[in-house]
Every structure is written in C-alpha cells, then in structure tokens.
Structure 1
Amino acid sequence: MPKAYVYTRHGGPDTESFVEQPAPEPGPGQLLIAVRAAGVNPVDWKLRDGYLRPGAAPTELPAVFGNEAAGTVEKTGPGVEGFAVGDAVFGSTLTGGYAEYTLLPAAVTAHKPDAVSFTDAAALPVAAATAYDAVRQAALPAGATLLIIGAGGGVGVAAAQIARATGLRVIGTASTGKREFVESLGVTHVPPGPGLAERVRAAAPDGVDAVLDLVGGADLEAAATLLADRTKLISAGDRGRVVKLGGAAVVRLRTAAVLDDVARLVVSGALNPYVTRTFPLERAAEALRAVEEGHALGKTVIEVGA
C-alpha cells in the first residue's frame, strides 16, 4: 500500500504520522502521478496548525502534507488532453505531495523539461511561481529598485533572481548567516529588525520603488514607510497587514503558462531553484522541521521515487 505523511488534526508536530492508503483516483481534469519529488514550504506546517487560506473550505482530516510535486503521469482523468501516461510533469497538488502518489489539476500542470531535474521541478510551483507572480505584479522598469523582505527563503531567492534577470536592482533582508548567500545572488544585503528603514535608506539613497514582503510583522510596517506609492507594497507573508497599510497581497495567477515560463528561466540559467537540502520520504518530519524552524536556506525538497 502506498505511503503518505499526514497530519491527523490541527496542532503541532505531534499530529503528524505516516499512513498507508490507496492511490487516489483521478477525476475529470485531473492527473494521477507517481511522485518523484515534493517541495516543502512554510504553508505546509501553517495548514497543519490550522491556517485557512482565504476563500478555502476547511481541510478534511487526515490531510497529506505538501502543495507542490513533480513526477510521472500514471493515469489521466476524464477530459484530460495534452498529457499521457509516462509524461514527466510538475504542479501544485490536490491531495498532498508528501506521498508516493498524488493528484494534480491538469489545467495547472506543466510538462517538465528534460534539462530540469524532478527535484528542481518540485521546487517551482509554489515558491518560484509565487516569486514570478510577485515580480510581475510590481511591474517595475529596468533599473528600478526592489526591496525583498525575507530574501533568503525559497520565494525570496527565486524573486531576487527573477528581478535581477529583468534588470532590477535588489535589496534584501536576511539573517547575518545568510548574508553571503544572498549577496551571491547580486542582492544588497541588509539585516532585518529594528532600524530596518534607516538601513535601507543608507543602502538605497535614491529610495526603493517597490517592496516584496515575505515575512510580515514589524519589518513589513517599516518597509511601508519607504514607499510614496503604497500600491507597490506587495506581500506574500502578511495578507491582512499589507492591506491595512495600503498595499496588496500577491495575486497568484496559478496557470500552466506561469509554470512553463518559470521552467524556461531554469533552463536558460536565469533561475536556480537552489535546492539546498533533500530528504527521503521516510524523513519527511525532518524536512518539515528544517523549514518550520526558519533556518532553511533556499529550498528543501523531499525525494520520493527513484
């Protein structure tokens, strides 16, 4: 029986366990894939804690962890076109990625280029696609300056590279331990925390043209004071606070076309998913702790099948 890593109720790590369950059956417009790799993201543990996405229905429990995966098509549901058994694909999951099998919506699934590994592809649907949507939403001209709050995590690393590829100057907050890494991306590093606005002004005397926040809280509020145009204040880290500050949450397009574009950036060398840690499915708990404790650098991926 296939294995999956689930949470049985809302709460902390004590709610997590492995279960054996049948492979799900693809419905209309769905693909069943044999998972080769699954990305790990902060939203995974937040959903376990009880976070409810805006407009989403309550999660049915037990629920399989994971929101992005790459693998090979095992079966197609009614009405699916453009995919065949054996195709290598990646996308956002319907039934969780920390599993040997999962379902993907065909309309928001992309074919994996041969030049992109399953491990790297599994890191793209959430973090890289969110970064792509956010940079496009900022709509800055080449030469403008983007401030990224939280540049050392999965979304921040992708956003920095995508922004740089479009000709933007990037300033990014990250812990001191991540300074060398973010600077290797061509980012001007500034430490987070009290005094952030003053440090950013010193790093960018001409000001910043947009802010992409991935952390929320006090740093988001400080960054807002740097903008004359609050429509350029965008957050994937604190939806409620950014709206109160006059900004907006990242608008996720969630299309196969975005995934195709992101994959092309990887193939071209403009975007490195920076998968810095991998774990086998049997160590899913360790993978999740690495992200939940906030010390992960780049992306963490669970490798499932050979």
Structure 2
Amino acid sequence: MTTPETTGRAVQFEVFGGPEVLRVRDVPVPQAGPGQLRVRVAAAGLNPMDWFMTTDAETAARFGLSLPCGFGTDYSGVVDQVGEGVSAYAVGDRVFGGVLSRAVADYVVVDEAGTIAVGGEAHRTPSGVDDRTAATLAIAGRTAAAAVAVVKPGPGDTVLVGGDRVRELAPAGVTAVMDLHGTDTAQTARELGVPDERITTIAAQVDGITPANGANAPYAALDEIAGLVAAGKLRVPIAAGYPVDQIRTAVELQAGRHVQGKIVIDL
C-alpha cells in the first residue's frame, strides 16, 4: 500500500542554533525498504535532548547528526506501508517509538528491528493509549527504565527523585536517589549517606556514580510502560499540544525547563 501524497511536512534545520533555526519544509514522502515500515505520524513528543542536539556542530556530531537534519525523536501514528520481509507489523497497526532527530514529520520510516539511534524503532500502541500519550514514551520511558535499573528500588526503599526539604520529607532518610536535572541532588544524596551505587543521574555525570542511559534500557521496557498506561496504573501529564507550524513556540516553551508535563506536536 502506498500513500497518494508525494510530499509531506517535516521540521528541519539547515544551520545550528536555537528554536529560531527550525523550519517546516515540504519533503518527498519516504518509502519503506526491505525490513522497514512507514508510519503516518499522528503526534511527536518533545524532549530536552531534541533541542540540545541541534545547538552546535560539536554537540550534533556526538549524536551522529549533520546538516541538513530533521528534528524530534518520539513519535506515534499508524503504519501505512510495509517493506519486503516485515512480519511483525501490518498496514493499519497503531505504533509508537523513537527515530533520532526525524520524528516531527508527517511520515517516518523505521526499521522493524532497529533502535532509536540506528534506523528507528517501533512498538505496538496498546488499546486505551491515545496517540498523544504514546508519543511521549520513547525517550522518557527508556530513561526511567534505565534509572530504575541502576538504583534497583525495592520494598522498604525510600527513593528520592529530585526535590528539596529532604530531611523534612523523609526524616528516616533516603536509600536511593535519581537526579533528573544536574548534580545537586546527587551530591546531597552523598551527604545523606546514600551509597554511590544507589544514585543515578540523567543530565550530568559524577565520578563514581552510574548515569542512566536510555539507550541501555531493554527493548521490552517501553512495551511494559505502555501496558501500565493502558491499565491506568501510570499517567503521563501532557502540559501542552501545538500544531506543527508552531514548532518554534513549542520548543521555546520546552527549553525553558519550567513545564509541568510533556509537550506534544500534533500532525
């Protein structure tokens, strides 16, 4: 099955910089090759890494990116074309996943057996999970799974996930810590006597502390997280949604780091 459209929209940048360099372009609709599936994107979730990767050439190179380049990683939508040899997905399947710096587009092509960084990946969207929510799960979900794997929380643990007034809120002390912003919480954890092996960071590195890298999360982690959302056991707050032609406004809001929840681009 092929789509009648020959062009679609995609957010791209041709020079490095801030939100002001982002452009909505008309681009040829990509075609699914062997082992690939094409997704008609319904929504794309934004993450700090999306704009961080595009700020300068040196940072972009660390992620294997070069100009011109697309934008965004998290996506959700419906499979509208499958390539030769694809067996796990069919046209009409609802899917979500990640495609490094390509997600904010009408169409994306991903590998059936790929990864976010190489080829892109897809997961089935469970019934009961809407497209906007599904579009927020790839990076945040993988990072959360990696952080949990580092600190290994269990019954009886008091886990600090960032925050203030630690001694007041947990007078008996904390036993594991996840620093989601920098290093301040990790350093406080050490002062509270939390051992390094029960501390993790996601946005900075501290000698002796294992950072949580979403790339190391198991493939099945996203399916488990999506299942929890479908079962009503996990809720993802959506702070705002924007049409694709307001991508700069959306990125400026997300980059401000004061949003309580995820920002989603509707396509």
Q: What is the TM-score when the length of structure 1 is the normalising length?
A: 0.76
Give 1:272's aligned amino acid.
R
Partner deviation per Cα, 1:139-164 (whole Å, 9 max, x = no partner) = 12122111112xxxxxxxxxxxxxxx
| Equivalent pair of 1:210/1:232 in contact (CA under 8 Å) | yes
* Aligned residue runs from structure 1 range 205-284, under 5 A: 205-238=171-204, 241-242=205-206, 244=207, 246-252=208-214, 253-284=216-247
- Name the structure 2 match of 1:72: 78
Q: Tell me how far apart the structure 2 counterparts of residues 295 and 73 of structure 1 sit (CA, whole Å).
A: 34
Matched, 1:117 2:130: yes
- Name the structure 2 match of 1:140: 153
Which one of the candidate residues 47, 50, 65 is aligned to 2:53? 47
Q: Tell me how far apart the structure 1 counterparts of residues 93 and 87 of structure 2 sit (CA, whole Å).
A: 12
Partner deviation per Cα, 1:264-290 (whole Å, 9 max, x = no partner) = 110121111111211111111111111
- Name the structure 2 match of 1:81: 87
Give 1:4's aligned amino acid.
A
Q: Tell me how far apart the structure 1 counterparts of residues 197 and 203 of structure 2 sit (CA, whole Å).
A: 16
| Equivalent pair of 1:92/1:105 in contact (CA under 8 Å) | no
Q: Tell me how far apart the structure 1 counterparts of residues 125 and 109 of structure 2 sit (CA, whole Å).
A: 16
CA-CA distance at 1:100 after TM superposition: 0.6
1:95–1:202 distance in 2 versus 1, CA, 3 Å:
closer
| Equivalent pair of 1:90/1:110 in contact (CA under 8 Å) | yes
- Name the structure 1 match of 2:9: 3
Partner deviation per Cα, 1:7-52 (whole Å, 9 max, x = no partner) = 2122222322111111223344332100001001111110111374
Matched, 1:105 2:118: no
- Name the structure 1 match of 2:24: 18
- Please, which runs of 5 or more residues in structure 1 have no aligned partner? 150-172, 174-189, 191-198
| Equivalent pair of 1:3/1:99 in contact (CA under 8 Å) | yes
Report the 3-state secondary structure (helix = DSSP H, G, I; strand = E; otherwise coil) of the residue aligned with 1:302: strand
1:218–1:39 distance in 2 versus 1, CA, 3 Å:
same
| Equivalent pair of 1:95/1:103 in contact (CA under 8 Å) | no
Q: Tell me how far apart the structure 2 counterparts of residues 254 and 74 of structure 1 sit (CA, whole Å).
A: 28
Give 1:216's aligned amino acid.
G
Matched, 1:295 2:258: yes
CA-CA distance at 1:94 after TM superposition: 4.4
Partner deviation per Cα, 1:207-233 (whole Å, 9 max, x = no partner) = 211111111144433333334410111
CA-CA distance at 1:125 after TM superposition: 0.9
Give 1:64's aligned amino acid.
G
- For the aligned residue pairs, the C-alpha RMSD in angstroms reads 2.1
* Aligned residue runs from structure 1 range 151-230, under 5 A: 173=163, 190=164, 199-230=165-196
Aligned residues: 252
| Equivalent pair of 1:93/1:105 in contact (CA under 8 Å) | no
Partner deviation per Cα, 1:44-72 (whole Å, 9 max, x = no partner) = 11011137489642x12121111110001
| Equivalent pair of 2:13/2:21 in contact (CA under 8 Å) | yes
Q: Greater share of helix residues, 1 or 2?
A: 1
CA-CA distance at 1:78 after TM superposition: 3.7
